[in-house]
Structure 1
Amino acid sequence: MKWYVVYTKPKWEKRAAEQLSKFNINCYCPVIKKVQQRSDRKVKVEVPLFNHYIFVQLAEKDRNLVFHSPGVVRFLFWLGRHAIVKDQEIETIKEWLNTGDTASEISVMQYQIGDKVHLNSGPFCDQNAVVKDITKTHYVLILESLGYVLKVKHK
């Protein structure tokens, strides 16, 4: 079975994954712990690693089952086909999140816009990317294999 990327309503990632799990659909919603400032205190909360996206593993004939969750909007498409994520990429995300090294940063200061880079740390270790933009505080990278845009803080 293949891993597909499902686009959800805003703030529905975890709920949609829970609902789909009740229908015996293998779902993965990667989450990270983040400190958020409330009016009177700071609290640690779990937030999805990818806003609006969850991963579902199912047979091609069962793809429409994901729409049993009201939080699911559509499948993500890449080059006119359903976006498919490799098992190894899902495992890489899981391993990275389990190490607790979510604060790692990637530095590409020596690169120019349009350069191809090889990521050697973080959740997308061993992935190739293209530098799309450089701002004062971040780099914007395109992960071609996943069809995803990554915003990385400067060191």
Structure 2
Amino acid sequence: MFWFVLSVKRRNEIKIASQLEQLGYQVYCPTITVVKQWSDRKKKSIEPLISSFVFIKVEDKNRAQVFDVPGVLRYLFYLGKPAKVPDKEINLLQDHLNGSALISSIENIKPGDNHLIADGPFKGKNGVVHEVGKNRLQVVLTELGIKVTLSTAID
């Protein structure tokens, strides 16, 4: 069974994912922790990584039942059919968000270089270095169409 991509009402992704889970569906809403700076304080908040989208595992015959949850708008379509995401891609996303994409060191790497990822969930993927920091490296994976940040392993 594949994951389908649901388009949902903006700023309701986490709530809708929770409601779908209560109905017995397997749902994934990738989130990140964001620190917002106010004039007098900093505040951490959890926000969806992909705005307006939630991943759901549902059988084809039960696909219409998700619209019983307020805020679910439609399925995302690709080439006239509902977009399906394989488990492998969801697992890669989960591993990346858990911080398991690491590199051992950043030496003699500059923007524009080709870089082969040797470890972690993107092992074996080739990309172009976008930005180099002291302890991190941003690589654009052209095959997947995404930019990933790799951190150095800190002992």
TM-score by structure 1 length? 0.68
SS in structure 1 of the partner of residue 98 of structure 2? helix
2:122 equivalent among 125, 132, 138: 125
User: Which digits, 9 at most, give the CA deviation of each residue in 1:17-66, with x for residues without a partner?
Assistant: 01111110110001011111224211111111101111000111111121
Q: 1:104 — aligned with what? A: none
- Which consecutive residues of structure 1, in runs of 5 or more, have no partner in the other structure? 102-106, 112-116
Match of 1:65 in 2: 65
The answer to whether the 8 Å contact 1:11/1:52 transfers is yes
1:99 partner amino acid: G
Larger Cα-atom Rg: 2
What root-mean-square deviation, in Å, do the aligned CA atoms of Structure 1 and Structure 2 show? Answer: 3.5
Q: Quote the residue 1:93 is aligned against.
A: 93
The corresponding residue for 1:84 is 84
Residue 80 (structure 1) shift: 1.4
| Offset, 1:150 | 4.3
Given residue 75 of structure 1, which amino acid in structure 2 is its aligned partner?
A: Y
Q: CA deviation at 1:78?
A: 1.1
> Number of residue pairs matched?
134
SS of residue paired to 1:4: strand
C-alpha distance in structure 1 between counterparts of 2:38 and 2:27, whole Å: 30
Q: Residue 30 of structure 2 aligns with which residue?
A: 30
- Letter of the 1:64 partner, please give it: A
User: Does the 8 Å contact 1:20/1:69 carry over to 2?
Assistant: yes
Q: Is the 8 A contact 1:32 1:49 kept in 2?
A: yes
2:112 corresponds to? 110
The DSSP-based 3-state class of the residue aligned with 1:99 is coil
Instruction: Tell me, yes or no, if the aligned pair for 1:9 and 1:71 is still in contact at 8 Å.
Output: yes
Q: Distance in 1 between matches of 2:148 and 2:97?
A: 17
